[in-house]
Amino acid sequence: MNRTVVITGVGRGLGRALARRFAERDWTVVGCTASSDSLNSVQSELGPPHRLSQLDVADDGQVAAWAARHLADGFVPDLLINNAALINRTAVLWEVPPDEFRRLMEVNVDGTYHVIRHWLPAMIERGSGMVINFSSTWGRSTSPQVAPYCASKFAIEGLTQALAQELPRGMAAVALNPGVINTDMLQICFGSAASMYPDAEEWSQRAIEFLLGLDTGNNGQSVSVP
């Protein structure tokens, strides 16, 4: 039976690598990216029957229209994966520009809420499905010069645990720490040292098996890709 996964941030990094893995397993990927360039690239790679769109998850109206369009066509997610996120340029908290702090929170926290708000009711109506919200090592511990990112991922941990308590039986929500992976985001923080870590493609080979092994028994848990 064909299954549907909704993934935000499919244009690059972990989201794109996961989209490849799900497509290889005959899942239909409904994805979004904020960049027109990355949209064209991932569309060329995945092609039909996958449904890919350009939108800003921080914009509730855009997310509402995106979800409504695909739900009307019968694409109710079996997995809803909130991956899209930003990280701040490294700086002590008091030197982070307000606009940068605000934008990070709008994407990382508000965006996750918008996606859940507009996709989850159809999953609840059907009575099954899992929400996977990407957290981070920095959602469970802290480091200097990434305080805004830490704050956003601590928020995701709390949001996910509360959501898990609200879901009906037969459904689940988990906060996922993907681990340390060499992506554009890590390079912002680690510079050339990011190359010491596995890239998104290597990571996704392990991650897909882990994600597909999650079930309702994991509801409310903070889990990590091994």
Catalytically active residues, by annotation? 149
Other C-beta atoms closer than 10 Å to the C-beta of 202 total: 13
Q: What residue has token string 């982070």?
A: 96
Q: What are phi and psi of 78, to 5 degrees?
A: -85, -35
- In degrees rounded to 5, what are phi and psi of residue 8? -90, 150
Q: What are phi and psi of 7, to 5 degrees?
A: -130, 125
Whole-angstrom distance, CA of residue 5 vs CA of residue 115: 13
Three-state DSSP at 180 gives coil
Q: How far apart are CA 182 and CA 190, in angstroms?
A: 9
Distance CA 169, CA 158 (A): 20
- Residue among 150, 132, 159 nearest 189 (CA): 150
Cα–Cα distance, 152 to 162 (Å, whole number): 15
